[in-house]
Structure 1
């Protein structure tokens, strides 16, 4: 009985933290922008929105890049034609894509049921606070990743779809979805 009480005490003081690693400020910013939406305004004159032709390069990395008169693009000459490398915008609106919030709303009852079943497992002597916490944390992280994979609305802007080659707003390089992890606070 003392072992059961100890395990339940540990479980009651443990907090599962699931999401983007707290020590990665760039991915924290990307997740935050997607959760809440954001209007991004150019600090100088223009934001440069890359096309598929620009790929992952920055404007300064492309030789011969220029702004044609009267056009809000940056391009390079391609014989007699121009290849558009960047669209120039004064601001862009990133719509809300609250993947963590949606995953929580969709799955909170499942996660609570897992916790109740885990408590029963501890009482029966089949589980530990550690095994229950790890199982719930893994499921939570997987549910967030699944939500990211299936969230298509609001869609990417047409230029983003062209550059990425597909329309999945929360998937690009794979860094954000690959970063979803879990940790514990309290009763280690």
Structure 2
């Protein structure tokens, strides 16, 4: 039994169309940029412009990128699992416009940031832990309990992200050279 030529060409055309649509979607969404550690990938969706702009003027600029603070450090697999989960959640929320415009970090994201603060500032946090009875209430072995670093250090690294005076005259993201 010979296959119908129309059916073969239709299937081939549908396959080529699907591949083309996939390639266009990857290009239009800048999907490959999310595999990098470039902070500009975080501003592909314009919701994060203020966070990016305030980070550019923070003490962390040049020392830590979005990935350094917001994703697990060290384990390659954990990092890309977190990136995939966050990416999926963000793409659904931004596509469906189902996010709160006052963006707040998730519990899992807050845990990761707290672990990274303690990890990067280990010499400082060890001093704080030894003086915890005087000033801080977190213990180094369990970062899920006690105070978060940003409870006191609110302006690090994003400043007053959603204030009217955060980035005056900010008409978009500008490069700091």
Q: TM-score, normalised by structure 2?
A: 0.33
* Structure with greater proportional helix content: 2
Larger Rg: 1
Determine which structure has greater relative contact order: mean sequence separation of CA pairs < 8 Å that are 6+ residues apart, divided by chain length: 1
Q: TM-score, normalised by structure 1?
A: 0.32
